Chain A
Amino acid sequence: MAQPAVAAPDLTARFPDLVTPDTRKGYSGYIVKPEGLLEFARALRDEYGYDYLSSLTGVDYLPEGQMEVVYHAYKITGGPPLVFKVQVPREDPVVPSVTSIWPGANFQEREAWDLLGIRFEGHPNLKRILLWEGFWGHPLRKDWREPYYEGEHKPFKNRTAGPHFWHEDHTPFGKNVDYPPGFDPYAWDPETADEVLYQSVIQRTRKPRQEELHSEQVVVNLGPQHPSTHGVFRMIATLDGETVVALEPVMGYLHRNHEKIGERNTWIMNIPYTDRLDYITAMSNNFGYVLAVEKLMGLEPPERAQYLRVIMAELTRVMNHLWAIGFLLNDLGAFFTPALYALEERELILDVFEAASGSRMMNNYMRFGGVVRDIPEDAWDMLVKLVTDRLPRKIDELDRFLTHNELVRSRCMGVGVLTPEQAIAFSTAGPVLRASGVPYDVRRAEPYGIYDRFDFDVAVRYHGDVYDRYLIRLDEARQSLRILQQAIRDIPERGAPLLAGKPQYQVRVPAGEAYGRVEGPKGELGFYVVSTGKTNPWRYHVRAPSFINLTALEAMSIGNKVADLVIILGSIDIVLGEVDR
């Protein structure tokens, strides 16, 4: 079902002094002057209907001496993005914050500040997010070098020149560390980083002390080592009695410098790295990345590869939702039985992945212009059996097992409510957005691959609470099975080509920018890549759905009891590899 073509509004006519079209080769959209950004953004949202800010990121154009902030705004009714950029000098990059217009920009602006050092004026809480307060430098700047620096881009020279060495032996401390000149460790207060966090939560909620009732608010810290935080995630909550009045998600405990490494890598090397973003849904991460690069290269994968991609992506969605449901129930206290049942089905799906790609989790299956190999015949038979018989049966069983359970209902209903307006404003995506009654699905809103051929419904629920976020995962898993059943019916015969062009290990990508997005199981997964025509990307940014969905965590949690925090977090379904990258 194709979207009616909507002509992009002519914004240069509306703001002749502020806006110029971006005319660089391979680029699109508008360049907005920083002083007019807020006016421009408000008009976009209120007059033109671009109410959903999908991605915000910075790019360091070192040779031009400029920092650029790139915005991708969408209409929640569907259609292509409106891209606009703000350029500021590199020495003192200051950009007005758009959090007042799109609150979903909150974490993304903090990330740009943390990694690139772009200051966002008017941001309510501009501090580091992935690194800790006090870290030396802004690492995504092109002139910032890590302690193990070997070269600007891979492949590194001494791999084919000499024997093996440990990187540690080349640094002064034998570790991956470096310190600024003149720094005195004895003068350093080790509590700085944490103190900043606690203060920001306390200040937000300080209220006058009630005289008659001696009650005080308590700050409670959860994580990062906590069995319910799905990894190394930390929350600092202020409680009034047992009610949450403020909450600060703290992340970065798994910040693995995905983007910095990604900019050193060649294009193809990034594919296995994307597996490790959201390590439960490696296939759809591959899909998003190759889509973005294919946009730049102008490649179109052959028919069978397209189908295989859809099959793998949808299997991943089923698997992820089973996993999410299992562990949401774990968080609810239904220890392990639902999770074990869900994992059993996951194992069977992983067997298919292993046969096709070679690895259970880190699939590395897709390539630019196709997929790496065909799915073997025995695995295909297994896949058909799974999709047509076993998985529908097992999802129904899970439904019977849990949905009407009185304990589940009473713990989940009405908890962690997110209204549709909030859901859009906070740029949430995926099941979180759709459980709040917004039927927005990238597969429909801006179909990619061959999704326009399939007949499926965009699952939507209207209460926006934990229970609906649970139900919508069941719905979506069923819809995915529908797509899968159509795909295995329509896929071209075995033996058809799987790759457009020849397999190449060092591709050159034409200069330009591209934003490829897919509807991952967690939500809209976007890859913003900038190429300068070389063998490695100039900028490689991941719009991680779990990360941005967390922007809404505080809004969901306020007013709920502290015991429900865990299930609210569980219902967002985060994976720390993607949150922290």
Chain B
Amino acid sequence: MDGRGILNGLAVTIKHFIATYVDDFKRKNRYFTPEGVKYRSSPEVEGIFTIQYPEERRILHENFRYIPFLVYDEGEDGQRDIRCTACGICAKVCPAQTIWIVRAKDPETGRPLSKPAEFYIDTTLCMNCGLCAEFCPFDAIIMDHDYEIAVYSKDHMVFDLERLLKSASYYQRIRPTQYAEKAAEREAKAKAKAAKAARRGAKK
């Protein structure tokens, strides 16, 4: 009870305080640069810890997930090939039951097509769990990295098909590893299918 404990504690805070300035001397390009942000989110960081959003952004890991989006492949003449086949697995697995799908119908025969006519994700329910993306067999629904989606009105919180669609190149940009893996998987599958077909053809 002689105040030594308090003094010790104060020494710790002073060390924290000084560390920032020491670091300022030691490092160049400390603020508003990618290296600076990287250093400040690494386990080596001492001193100042703040990442000054919005000027600086935290490096999001590829696996980061926010609201899901739907992927379309860009066709050669600019049309959008939606990958989703309206199979409904995402709607079935969604814990909050926030996905609504309406299947497209053939305008002539009236038979259901394997494309969604409407697709809604109610972000007032979505819990960003990522189960939809995990179990999608077509790599069509992906968890987005875009978190800057605050709105003034609740009506804008139900995302429709138009709002959900994003290009495959965007997908490739935010999740390069996963994109490459899934593409390779698809390719292998297609190859196997082709080989099977060829075998069958040979038998005949």
Interface residues of A (CB under 8 A from B): 150, 154-156, 158-165, 265-266, 268-273, 275-276, 337, 341, 344, 347-348, 351, 354-359, 362, 364, 372-373, 376, 378-379, 382, 385-386, 389-390, 397, 400-410, 503, 505-506
Contact = CB atoms under 8 A, between A and B. Distances in A.
Contact of B6 (A265, A356, A379, A407): A407
B31 interface: no
B43 A359 contact: no
B118 interface: yes
B195 to A, nearest CB: 23
Contact of B43 (A372, A386, A400, A407): A386
Interface string B39-77: 001111000010000000000111111000000000000
A402 B100 contact: no
B101 interface: yes
B182 interface: no
Interface of B: 1-6, 8-9, 12-13, 16, 41-44, 49, 60-65, 86, 88-89, 91-95, 97, 99-103, 118, 120, 122, 127-131, 134-135, 143, 158
Nearest to A272: B129
Contact of B120 (A156, A163, A268, A389): A163
A155 B90 CA distance: 10
B20 to A, nearest CB: 13
Contacts of A344: 49
Nearest to B5: A404
B65 A359 contact: yes
Contact of A164 (B5, B16, B100, B127): B100
A192 to B, nearest CB: 32
10 contacts: A155-B93, A156-B97, A159-B92, A160-B92, A162-B100, A268-B131, A355-B63, A356-B63, A373-B63, A389-B43
B97 A406 contact: no
Q: Which 3 A-B pairs have the closest CB atoms?
A: A404-B5, A272-B129, A269-B95
Given A269-B93, A378-B61, A410-B1, 5 more contacts: A268-B131, A358-B61, A400-B12, A408-B5, A506-B92
Given A162-B100, A163-B100, A401 B128 contact: no
Contact of A159 (B3, B16, B99): B99
Contacts of A160: 86, 88, 91-92, 100-101, 103
Given A159-B99, A364-B129, A401-B12, A351 B41 contact: yes
A397 B129 CA distance: 36
A407 B94 CA distance: 51
Contacts of B158: 164
Contacts of B95: 154, 265, 269-270, 272-273
Contact of A155 (B92, B122, B130): B92
A409 B5 contact: yes
Contact of B131 (A272, A376, A390): A272
A21 to B, nearest CB: 37
A159 B101 contact: yes
Nearest to B12: A401
B63 A337 contact: no
A400 B102 CA distance: 61
Q: Which of A159, A268, A351 has the most CB of B within 10 A?
A: A159
B130 A364 contact: yes
A358 B64 contact: yes
Contacts of A357: 63
A390 B46 CA distance: 10
B9 A405 contact: yes
B143 A154 contact: no
Contact of B8 (A150, A347, A356, A404): A404
Given A354-B61, A376-B63, A505-B135, A406 B1 contact: yes
Contacts of A337: 13
B63 A354 contact: yes
Contacts of A159: 88, 91-92, 94, 97, 99-101
A408 B3 CA distance: 11
B9 A400 contact: yes
Q: Which of B13, B49, B129 has the most CB of A within 10 A?
A: B129
A339 to B, nearest CB: 13
Contacts of A150: 97
Contact of A406 (B6, B49, B92): B6
A478 to B, nearest CB: 18
A32 B65 CA distance: 49
Contact of B118 (A163, A165, A270, A378): A163
B95 to A, nearest CB: 4
Nearest to A378: B61
A271 B129 CA distance: 9
Given A163-B120, A164-B120, A406-B3, A503 B134 contact: yes
A337 B15 CA distance: 13
A120 to B, nearest CB: 33
Nearest to B63: A358
B131 A505 contact: yes
Given A351-B41, A372-B134, A376-B61, A505 B12 contact: no
